[in-house]
Amino acid sequence: MKKVYLTLAFFLIGFILTAQKLPFQGYLEESGVPLNGTRTFDFALPDYGWTETKTDIPIENGIYNVVLGDETPLPSMIFSDTTETPLEITVDGVSIGIATLYKPLVNINSLLTTNGNLEIKGPNDSLNLRIGSFNPYYGSVNIYDSLGAPQGFLAADPLGGRLQLNQRNGSGALTSAIVARTNGSKSYSQYYGLNPSGTGIARLMENYITEREIAGGPVMSGGYLRSGSDWYDNEGTLLAAIGNAREEGGGDPTGKSGFLSLWGTNSFNVELTGKRWENNDLPIFSLFGNNDDGGGWWIRNAAIEVKQGPGTTNFADLILNFTNNGGENNESVLISSNFLGSSAGGLELRDSVGSTTAILEARGNGNSGQLKLRGTTGLDIVAVQNRGGNSGQAVFYGSDNGLKAEIGSFGDNSGFLITYGPNGNKNVQLDRDPGNNDLGQFTLFGTDGISPRVFATTGTDGTNEWGSITLDSPTEQIILNGQTSTITATTITASSDRRLKKNITNLENSLENTLKLRGTSYFWKNENGSKKRQIGVIAQEVEKVYPEFVHTNDEGFKSVNYAQMTAVLIEAIKELNAKVENLEKENDTLTTALNETKELSKKIDKLEKLLLEGQKVASK
């Protein structure tokens, strides 16, 4: 019979721990031919004084299987000793040789230790997996990398469980970890990272627990500053933390709030939590920049928070801050759903010193709102408001906070512009004709803000449209009527001061030129104009005699300055008067001569009478 070849096929951990047994498989052949049938086997471990006989062991194609220790338990030391040991095998009273058992027997890649831990090792004898006790009462599982550094941890504790996954750098140093925990009614998931100082300290937000050791690594949290503050010190960098309970809280010390915190490389970035200092049922969402507050923390740059209103009401505020290192903090923007206690929304903008410069708000109930702009004194300078319904207006104020101008719309869908004087009375108003919203009017008021002194309006008869201007005073009035093309006034004057003129000369031939002009009567061709008979001159005819009287517009239409014709008529009358005077003088001369002739005639008549009488006497 040839020497048999022995093969250790497998073993069961539970088998080993409880029954001290070892499954064993071997191979038998004789003259190169595998054996079949049954045989009696004797096994012995001379190093431990152990023997066991097994009868009628079936063999098939040379292979047989037995369980060592099922009749005589194996000595427990073979499972913990690390040295090799010989196994002597005899078949039907014939020794076939010795098989060497390599230690430990819990597979060459594993070792079952006596403290209740099971360790699985790799081919290079490095520890890969440990299943055992986190402490004497709770189970745990540890996973290791090729260098034996712990990379994963799963364990139970008195109130819950814990899962941890680690990350290491090229040197094998722990750099970050993800931890998920349950602890009674509390549960959270956190991410830890080493702070930039490299001290291995990181922040742990675990319901205000001040210290927690990361399994298989350095202490990753600790050193909270708690003196009167619920905030944390700057010992490390917590990149993320999520929790469901914080049992500390100002006006509600028994309340609970969940939280979510995010960190940047060097500063606190985001926090979402309940307002534990006021009411844990009211949430606040805060965004932080990298500006410090001068006290070891960072300044909040933005926040959305829910606040308690009157009674059972709640409202929300959004605050945007401008910050700088050293605690410089200016609330630049405020958006509220209960602006100034109005139960309505509003927006407030502030300047670099915190003074309000603009307000956008909804006013009370109904469809009403306004936008206000404020000056350096804190007083309103502009307000864009709702006038009721769908009408709006922009209101402008002066440095005395008095109303100075309004521009807006009436409820009849027409617009207006009004300005005010220092006394608060209206001085200018531009709006629509109350009788027809499509027609505009312009009014200038006196100091009382009531009496119009200049009033310009437009009119229509349904076909034609015109404009009119009225200039008014307590005693006099001038009306320029576009409908009748007339000017009505007590007196109309034109500037004529000698001091304003030069190169003054007398007009000549005025009578002769006037006689060349023609006075006419006519009707306007424009059917939209006046239909009354008109009296005047023809501009083209006047232009031939006196071109100075005629003005031609860009379209070639001509007009006549009738006022200038007065000077020509004056000189024409003077020339005519001179002629009359000359005629009167000539008439006087003729009258004198005629009178003299009459006297001479009388004398002749007397002489003739005397001659006749003398002749009568002589004849007698």
Mean pLDDT, residues 186-201 taken together: 52
The candidate with the shortest Cα–Cα distance to 522, out of 514, 513, 512, 532, is 532
Amino acid at 601: S
> 207 — alpha (psi -120 to 50), left (phi > 0) or beta?
left
Amino acid at 506: N
- What residues form DSSP beta bridges with 52? 43
Rounded to whole angstroms, how far apart are CA atoms 81 and 149? 26
Query: For 74-101, what is each residue's pLDDT tens digit?
Result: 887 777 666 788 999 999 999 988 888 7
SS3 28: coil
Sign of the alpha-carbon torsion through 116, 122, 123, 124: negative
- Residue 387: what pLDDT? 65
Place of tokens 């512009």: 417
Rounded to whole angstroms, how far apart are CA atoms 548 and 561? 8
Q: Are 452 and 472 in contact (CB under 8 A)?
A: yes
Q: In which band, very low, low, confident or very high, does the pLDDT at 115 lie, cut at 50, 70 and 90?
A: low
pLDDT tops 80 at residue 231: no
- What residues form DSSP beta bridges with 465? 460
Rounded to whole angstroms, how far apart are CA atoms 321 and 352? 10
Question: For residue 62, with 0-12 CB atoms within 10 Å meaning exposed, 13-18 middle and 19 or more buried, which class applies?
Answer: middle
Rounded to whole angstroms, how far apart are CA atoms 39 and 609? 223
Q: Are 289 and 301 in contact (CB under 8 A)?
A: yes
Q: Are 568 and 545 in contact (CB under 8 A)?
A: no
Query: For 31-87, what is each residue's pLDDT tens digit?
Result: 889 999 999 999 999 989 999 999 999 999 999 999 998 888 888 777 766 678 899
Rounded to whole angstroms, how far apart are CA atoms 365 and 363? 7
pLDDT tops 80 at residue 192: no
For the chain, how long is the longest CA-to-CA vector? 246
* Secondary structure element (H or E) that encloses residue 15, with its range: helix 13-19
Cα three-residue angle 348-353-355, rounded to 5 degrees: 35
Domain ranges across the chain = 5-108, 121-221+233-245, 248-345, 410-492, 509-569
Residue 393 neighbours by CB distance under 10 Å: 18
Q: How far is CA 357 from CA 33, 167, 369, in A?
A: 106, 52, 17
CATH domain 5-108 topology: Immunoglobulin-like (2.60.40)
Residue 419: phi and psi, rounded to 5, are -120, 155
The candidate with the shortest Cα–Cα distance to 112, out of 85, 150, 76, 68, is 76
Pick from 239-248, 267-276, 375-384, 567-576: least confident: 239-248
- Residue 377: what pLDDT? 67
Mean pLDDT of the chain: 76
Q: Are 274 and 267 in contact (CB under 8 A)?
A: no
- Residue 103: what pLDDT? 60
User: Could you tell me which residues come within 8 angstroms of residue 587 by beta carbon, excluding any fewer than 6 positions away?
Assistant: none
- Residue 306: what pLDDT? 93
Query: For 483-499, what is each residue's pLDDT tens digit?
Result: 777 778 777 788 889 99
**505 against 254, higher pLDDT:** 505
Report residue 178 as tokens.
């993800």
pLDDT tops 70 at residue 226: no
**How would you write 172-208 as a 3-class SS string?**
CCEEEEEEEEEECCEEEEEEEECCCCCCCCCCCCCCC
Coarse DSSP helix, strand, coil percentages of the chain, rounded to the nearest 5 percent: 15, 45, 40
Q: In which band, very low, low, confident or very high, does the pLDDT at 246 lie, cut at 50, 70 and 90?
A: very low
Query: For 548-603, what is each residue's pLDDT tens digit?
Result: 999 999 999 999 998 888 899 999 898 888 888 888 888 888 888 888 888 888 88
Mean pLDDT, residues 298-315 taken together: 91
**How would you write 209-270 as a 3-class SS string?**
CCCCECCCCCECCCCCCCCCCCCCCCCCEEEEEEECCCCCCCCCCCCCCCEEEEECCCCEEE
What's the CA dihedral at 472, 476, 481, 484 to 10 degrees? 160
The candidate with the shortest Cα–Cα distance to 396, out of 410, 409, 379, 411, is 379
User: Could you tell me which residues come within 8 angstroms of residue 61 by beta carbon, excluding any fewer than 6 positions away?
Assistant: 34, 36
Question: For residue 255, with 0-12 CB atoms within 10 Å meaning exposed, 13-18 middle and 19 or more buried, which class applies?
Answer: buried
pTM above 0.85, yes or no: no
Report residue 81 as tokens.
């000793």
pLDDT tops 60 at residue 112: no
